[in-house]
Structures are given as structure tokens and as C-alpha cells.
Amino acid sequence: MSKRLNALYGWLLILPAVSLLAAFTHLPAVMTLLASVHSTPRGTRPPHFVGLDNYRDMMADPIFWQSLWNNLIYALATIPVSVALALTMALLVNRSFPGRSLARLAFFTPTVLPMIAVANIWLFFYTPDYGLLDRLVGFLGMAHHNWLGERGTALWALIAVAIWKESGFFMIFYLAALQQIPATLREAAALEGAGPWTCFRRVTLPLLMPTTLFVLINALINAFRMVDHVVVMTRGGPDNATSLLLFHIFEVGFRFWDSAYAATLTVVLVTILSLVAALKFHFLDSRTHYR
């Protein structure tokens, strides 16, 4: 087949997918940027250019700062804990003991559940007085608590849900990586007189680095992408204590129908995720030995 015919086939084959992809990813990304420097169309008034006004409004919007801050705390708490737990789980179920497959199942099952189902389950778990958590706390002689209704605990309650849902997902990547480490490496280390802890720190952990990076990046993306539980469990409350960035966008865009301001907020979110992407290309793609 001639080169030109080949190229034509190439274009024709990718055309349907690429045009749809452009229509729902690239085009809206550009349109979002444009919308962020225009006003929201109201009634018969078309949008007009307003420069950086929306960004100035954003800087003065306390809920934006609160959501950004919440999201930061949410990410900084969820990521290390779920990654550490994932590694612990993987190490625990990587050895044989009675009930191993059951334990693995217990860790992984939350991953398969819809976040909305998880949110319902935990909503009940957190119910004041009636829920299991309050009953456990009461059993230990501590005061009852409105876990999702108080500023001090609401965000942490959501963080716990995210950790519960994600750890098992990350565990499978660690498990796969652990199983690829040749036993001879550890045997060699043991022959050299390394104890189990040294062996873990000096042999296993470094070999798991690519997996850790991969999992960290994924956790970071999820921390900014997943807000289903916020919608169901707290609606951003109390007093915006659990509003995350994407949730704030959702509220501004579809409760207040302020599309220009929602676009402005989206630009911030996409910028954050692009930074994560840049990190990913920098660290991950140059160092993993998966491919």
C-alpha cells in the first residue's frame, strides 16, 4: 500500500474518536477559558468581555478560598494515609495465613461499590446517637457527636470515607509489584545478614518506588475529581466546611447558574490537574519499569 493511502486510512480510522474527544475535552477546555473572561449571559443579555473581573471576584470569594483550602487538607490527609494503608494491606495479604483471601476481599470490595452507595453506608454509620460510630464511641464512654454536622469533624469524616474506598484499590498495585520482586534479592539480603526490617527498607521499599509514585499521582487526581460523597453526605456544609473545589463549581454552575464564574473556577481546577499531569510526565514516565 502506498504511503499516502496509509496516511489516509490512519486519518479516517481516528477521525470519529478524535472528533468526539475534541468536542467533549479540548473544545470545552478552550471554551471554559473564554467563558472565564466573559460575563454570564442572563436572559436576553449576551455575554460580554469583562477581562479579569471574574478572577477578581474569585479572589474575593471566601467560599472559593475555603473550598481550595478544604481540598488541600483533604488531599494532604487522604493521600499519605491511603497510600500507607495500601502498602500495609499489600504486605499483610502477600503472605499466606488463614483467611487471606477473605482479608484481600474485605480491602478491595469498597473499590467496586459506587461512591454514592459508600456515601449512604457511611451516612448511616455517622448518624448521631443511632449510627454505629456514635454507639461505639458511647460504648467507650465518650460523648455523642454529630460527626457530619459539626465544622470540626465533617471534613475528617469525609476523609475517612475516601481512605476507606481508595486504599484497597491502591493495594492491588502494591500486591502486583511485590509479586514481581524476585525472592533471590531478599534471600541475598538475608545472607548478608540484613534483618527483616532492613530488608524491607533497603530492598523492598526502593523497588516499590515506581508503584508508590504511580499511586500517589492517582490519589492526587482523585482528591480533586471525586465529590460524589460531598453531594450526598454534606452538600458542602456545615457552613462550607466540606466544600471541595469541584463541588463549589457544581454549586455555582448548576445551583446559581453562574456559568462564567463556574468557568473561572474550572480554569483553576484544570490548572491544578495540569500541574499534576506535568509532575506525572516528569517523574512517572521516565522512571517506571512497567512498559
Q: Is the peptide bond before 238 cis (omega within 30 degrees of 0)?
A: yes
Question: Which of these ranges, 7-15, 52-60, 65-73, 138-146, lies near another protein under the rule CB under 8 A?
Answer: 7-15
Residue 209 binds to another protein (criterion: CB under 8 A):
no
* Neighbour count for residue 195 (Cβ, 10 Å): 10
Residue 286 binds to another protein (criterion: CB under 8 A):
no
Residue 236 binds to another protein (criterion: CB under 8 A):
no
Q: In the complex, what is the shortest distance from the CB of residue 152 to another protein, in angstroms, rounded to a whole number? A: 22
Q: In the complex, what is the shortest distance from the CB of residue 232 to another protein, in angstroms, rounded to a whole number? A: 6
Q: How many residues does the chain have?
A: 291
Q: Which of 105, 151, 192, 282 binds another protein (CB under 8 A)?
A: 105
DSSP H or E run through 3: helix 3-21
What does R_g of the chain's alpha carbons equal in angstroms? Answer: 24
Q: For 76, phi and psi rounded to 5 degrees?
A: -65, -25
DSSP 214: H
Site for another protein in 123-152 (CB under 8 A): 123-125, 127, 130-132, 135
Give the residues across from 179 on adjacent strands: none
Question: Which of these ranges, 68-76, 137-145, 146-154, 260-268, lies near another protein under the rule CB under 8 A?
Answer: 260-268
CA distance 134 to 128: 6
Nearer to another protein, 45 or 95 (CB): 95
Q: Which of 80, 138, 152, 196 binds another protein (CB under 8 A)?
A: 196
Residue 110 binds to another protein (criterion: CB under 8 A):
yes
Do 223 and 78 meet the contact criterion of CB atoms below 8 Å apart? yes
Residue 100 binds to another protein (criterion: CB under 8 A):
yes
Q: Which of 66, 204, 212, 234 binds another protein (CB under 8 A)?
A: 204
Q: Which of 168, 216, 236, 248 binds another protein (CB under 8 A)?
A: 168
Residue 225 binds to another protein (criterion: CB under 8 A):
yes
Nearer to another protein, 76 or 116 (CB): 116
Nine cell digits for residue 137: 464511641
Q: Which of 79, 227, 241, 244 binds another protein (CB under 8 A)?
A: 227
Site for another protein in 28-87 (CB under 8 A): 28-29, 31-32, 35
CA distance 84 to 100: 19
The amino acid occupying position 39 is S
DSSP 40: P
Nearer to another protein, 62 or 98 (CB): 98
Q: In the complex, what is the shortest distance from the CB of residue 238 to another protein, in angstroms, rounded to a whole number? A: 17
Nearer to another protein, 137 or 190 (CB): 190
DSSP 42: B
Distances (CA, A) of 26 to 13, 33, 209: 19, 11, 33
Do 71 and 242 meet the contact criterion of CB atoms below 8 Å apart? no
Q: Which of 80, 176, 192, 287 binds another protein (CB under 8 A)?
A: 176
Largest CA distance in the chain: 81
Site size for another protein (CB under 8 A): 109
